[in-house]
């Protein structure tokens, strides 16, 4: 306590010098905190005000037959079952959107038509966030649900201005649905919203069921799922891992009956993988009786075993008719298949198994999702050999944890051209990890600039201490003569520097908050300017964090104390006799 009192007294003895030095340090802390809060605010905007609406905190993406733009999963209930029972999930939404060409009054432009579930109940906090991000300036959100209006939509003010349309005007759109068919529709503007973010201005909101109908989704089908969760930075990756494990696919099988010239028999249709390696293994496992593997490995290839061929009275080149119950439709599905090859027993997966090339198999499987095995029937269970060769229900993509790996994963989809639906589970931090890199780069630039400033300031600290020590040399000799130890002299000077830096940092912190408050009062009006994405409601957005503030202050204090160590040690090493005999 004595050292603390002496240090504080000595600070007050040299007010002018310490005030000037402390002011410079306070300005440095202020700049560091403002810059750190601004870069953190940019990340928060990009993640929580853009990415969250685009992908959700966690996204489950379904792409059928390797088509990146064909986002569809045929069993909506099963998709939602995978996310059921997770307490971290606040909202689970169908993420359905499409690019379209909009034609207004004499002008046209590209838009993104997004399905909005306006009937879904959300909390006050979520409602406030939506209203802040998409501020309705005309109309009401409820009008989007109106059955009396033809495809009512809410459009951004910027897009409405560009298309030269206003409330209750008709906008015609051209688009391509999920199955590659060109479509056209008429949209009625029932609301105009304001959004400062340039990336969200092309978005046009349409009621979710109507959008699904326009795109060709059936009621039991869905697109990707978007999950909003609690504390995403902490929970997102672990939740994505759990959902990913839950989505492990089984073998895709169609439980059907097959009819030939001799009658009808129950069969199980399986797809076999049509890549070069799998085809080589299959031709080695099966003993060809008639037909050819060359034909069997084509898109419409069909292989049946000898016992089934005899029971149906068919051979290679003949056709059989298969019929199976559909999971979501009352009437059964029928299809005609031409036999490409008949194989003997060998390592055939079963006497009632019909093998189809996976391209043709998935045409049947996905277009009309089959029901499970009938009452009393057992589900097909493949051995280890055929479980690796049989077509799975879907292809579960591996988890990736950064943007580069995520990009490579989707390049692999394009190369492989998988026939089955691909499922990918990812978090917004992984798909946009470059945003975190951007924040890190901004922080590094800021810290580097401020450290240069502080290097100059700390030169002042060193010079000030040297002058102080020179002025107080006889005082050092006196306190050493009456018994003060060397380490106490050293600690006294270190404490003076510490308190000076502490008071300066606190002052810089207050200055930083005042500066952020004043800067956030300035209103900007960006028009078609990418810098608009850095704004919230037309204002600069700062997000100070405890970790950022504490880290900045501790860094500055640590640098100052370390810098003061050497002159303080030199002062402590002065002998009492030399110090007492010193004259300034």
User: Three-state SS across 181-229?
Assistant: CEEEEEEEEEEEEECCCCCCCCEEEEEHHHHHHHHCCCCCCECEEEEEE
Distance (Å, rounded) from C-alpha 314 to C-alpha 211? 47
The candidate with the shortest Cα–Cα distance to 370, out of 361, 381, 383, is: 361
Alpha-carbon gap, residue 392 to 278, rounded angstroms: 14
Cβ contacts of 308 within 8 Å, gap of 6 or more: 258, 265, 267, 351, 352, 353, 354
What is the pLDDT at residue 187? 95
- End-to-end C-alpha distance for the chain, whole angstroms: 30
**Structure tokens belonging to residue 136:** 């309705």
**Closest alpha carbon to 422 in 60, 66, 55, 58:** 66
| pLDDT values of the chain reduced to their tens digit, one per residue, 584 residues | 777 777 677 667 777 777 877 887 888 888 888 888 887 787 777 777 666 767 788 999 998 876 556 789 999 999 999 999 999 998 898 988 888 999 999 999 999 998 888 777 665 666 666 666 778 889 988 899 898 999 999 999 989 999 999 999 999 999 988 877 889 999 999 999 987 666 778 889 999 999 999 998 998 999 889 998 888 888 999 999 999 999 999 999 999 999 999 999 999 999 999 888 999 999 989 999 999 999 999 889 999 999 999 999 999 999 999 999 999 999 999 999 999 999 986 788 888 999 999 989 998 999 889 998 877 778 888 888 898 999 999 999 999 887 778 778 777 766 766 788 889 999 888 876 666 566 566 667 766 766 676 676 667 667 776 776 666 666 666 766 766 777 777 777 788 888 888 888 899 999 999 999 998 888 876 655 556 666 777 778 888 888 878 887 887 788 778 877 877 777 767 666 665 655 54
Question: Using an 8 Å Cβ cutoff, are 33 and 548 in contact?
Answer: yes
φ, ψ of residue 418 in degrees (nearest 5):
-60, 140
pLDDT at residue 438, rounded to an integer: 61
CA angle 556, 562, 563 (to 5 degrees): 90
Helix (H, G, I), strand (E, B) or coil at 583: coil
What pLDDT is recorded for position 443? 65
Q: What sections of 417-485 are H helices per DSSP?
A: 428-431, 433-471, 473-481
């Amino acid at each position: 306590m004595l050292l603390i009192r002496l240090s504080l007294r000595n600070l007050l003895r040299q007010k002018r010098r310490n005030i000037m030095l402390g002011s410079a340090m306070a300005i440095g802390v202020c700049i560091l905190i403002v810059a750190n809060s601004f870069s953190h605010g940019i990340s928060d905007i990009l993640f929580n005000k853009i990415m969250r609406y685009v992908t959700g905190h966690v996204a489950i993406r379904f792409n059928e037959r390797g088509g990146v733009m064909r986002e569809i999963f045929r069993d909506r209930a099963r998709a939602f079952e995978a996310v059921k029972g997770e307490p971290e999930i606040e909202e689970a939404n169908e993420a359905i959107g499409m690019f379209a060409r909009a034609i207004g009054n004499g002008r046209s432009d590209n838009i993104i038509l997004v399905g909005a579930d306006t009937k879904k109940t959300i909390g006050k906090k979520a409602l406030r966030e939506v209203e802040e991000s998409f501020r309705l300036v005309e109309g009401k959100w409820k009008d989007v649900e109106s059955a009396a209006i033809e495809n009512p939509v809410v459009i951004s003010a910027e897009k409405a201005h560009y298309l030269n349309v206003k409330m209750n005007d008709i906008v015609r759109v051209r688009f391509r649905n999920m199955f590659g068919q060109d479509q056209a529709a008429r949209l009625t503007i029932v609301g105009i919203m304001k959004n400062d973010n340039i990336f969200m201005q092309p978005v046009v909101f349409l009621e979710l069921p109507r959008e699904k109908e326009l795109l060709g989704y059936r009621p039991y089908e869905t697109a990707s799922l978007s999950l909003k969760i609690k504390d995403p930075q902490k929970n997102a990756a672990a939740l994505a891992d759990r959902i990913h494990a839950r989505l492990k696919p089984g073998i895709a099988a169609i439980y059907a009956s097959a009819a030939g010239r001799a009658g009808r028999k129950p069969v199980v249709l399986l797809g076999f993988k049509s890549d070069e390696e799998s085809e080589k293994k299959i031709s080695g496992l099966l003993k060809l009786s008639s037909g050819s593997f060359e034909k069997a490995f084509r898109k419409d290839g069909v292989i049946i075993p000898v016992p089934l061929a005899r029971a149906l009275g068919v051979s290679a080149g003949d056709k059989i008719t298969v019929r199976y119950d559909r999971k979501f439709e009352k009437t059964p599905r029928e299809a005609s298949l031409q036999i490409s090859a008949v194989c003997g027993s060998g390592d055939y997966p079963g006497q009632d198994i019909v093998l189809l090339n996976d391209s043709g198999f998935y045409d049947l499987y996905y277009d009309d999702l089959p029901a499970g095995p009938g009452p009393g029937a057992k589900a097909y269970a493949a051995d280890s050999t055929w479980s690796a060769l049989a077509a799975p229900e879907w292809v579960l993509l591996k988890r990736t944890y950064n943007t580069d790996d995520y990009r490579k994963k989707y390049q692999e989809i394009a190369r492989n051209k998988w026939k089955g639906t691909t499922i990918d589970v990812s978090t917004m931090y992984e798909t946009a990890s470059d945003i975190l890199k951007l924040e890190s780069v901004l922080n590094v630039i800021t810290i580097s600039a401020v450290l240069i400033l502080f290097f100059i300031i700390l030169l002042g600290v060193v010079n000030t201490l040297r002058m102080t020590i020179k002025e107080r040399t006889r005082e050092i000799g006196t306190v050493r003569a009456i018994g003060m130890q060397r380490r106490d002299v050293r600690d006294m000077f270190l404490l003076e520097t510490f308190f000076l830096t502490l008071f300066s940092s606190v002052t810089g912190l207050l200055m930083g908050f005042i500066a952020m408050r004043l800067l956030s009062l300035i209103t900007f009006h960006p028009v078609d300017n990418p810098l608009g994405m850095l704004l919230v409601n037309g204002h600069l957005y700062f997000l100070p964090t405890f970790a950022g503030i504490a880290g900045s202050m501790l860094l500055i204090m640590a640098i100052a104390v370390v810098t003061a160590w050497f002159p303080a040690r030199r002062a402590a090493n002065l002998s009492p006799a030399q110090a007492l005999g010193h004259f300034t």
